Amino acid sequence: MGRRSRREPAGARRVIVVDTSVWIDFFRDAKTAHVDALAGLIAGDAPIAITDVVLAELLQGARHDRDAARIERLLAPHGLFELRGADDARRAASMYRAARAAGHTIRRTLDCLIASVCVREDVAIMHADADFDRLALTSNLRIYRPATC
């Protein structure tokens, strides 16, 4: 039996994990609602964070060392949640299996690991990746939806 997706109200002051999908658009200066929302959160000094997996994905996407250094400087003021071994891995696998059993295809294992950390920490995630919406349908993953989305 699936669980309902819990949505985080846009005005909440709880920590929001920002996924790689939003950061990439932000760094590329894309004109999306998620980028506008992230810029607003940063300008408003909202409590945002990333996971170690998001950090790795962003740094591996940097073309040059100077780009990686810029990314690290921009992310440094924000919180970092880290994977904590087997429990996070088991939760990620369980989330994947629950989504699959409900007929949802999750394309990336790393999304399950990111989602697992968010569930463990009871924080919402802002993303531009349908895998997280699918995971939220069958787990306690909370999605942060900007008012403009």
The per-residue pLDDT for range 30-59, each reduced to its tens digit, is 999 999 999 999 999 999 999 999 999 999
Whether residue 55 is contained in a domain is answered as yes
Residue 42 lies in a domain: yes
Amino acid at 110: L
How many whole angstroms separate alpha carbon 39 and alpha carbon 63? 23
Using a CB cutoff of 8 Å and minimum separation of 24, what contacts does 36-39 make? 36/146, 36/148, 37/10, 37/126, 37/146, 37/147, 37/148, 37/149, 38/126
- What CATH code is carried by the domain that includes residue 53? 3.40.50.1010
Predicted confidence band at 147 (pLDDT cuts at 50, 70, 90)? confident
Asked whether residue 113 is assigned to any structural domain, the reply reads yes
129 domain-assigned: yes
Answer yes or no: is 5 within a domain: no
Residue 110 lies inside a defined structural domain of this protein: yes
**pLDDT exceeds cutoff 80 at 10:** no
pTM: 0.88
- Name beta bridge partners: 48: 16
Range of the domain at 50: 13-144
Whether 7 is in a domain gets the answer no
Reference 149, options 127, 131, 124; nearest CA is: 127
Please indicate, yes or no, if residue 4 is contained in any of the structural domains.
no
pLDDT at site 146: 85
Domain count for the chain, please give it. Answer: 1
pLDDT at position 111 over 80: yes
- Mean pLDDT over the full length of the chain: 91
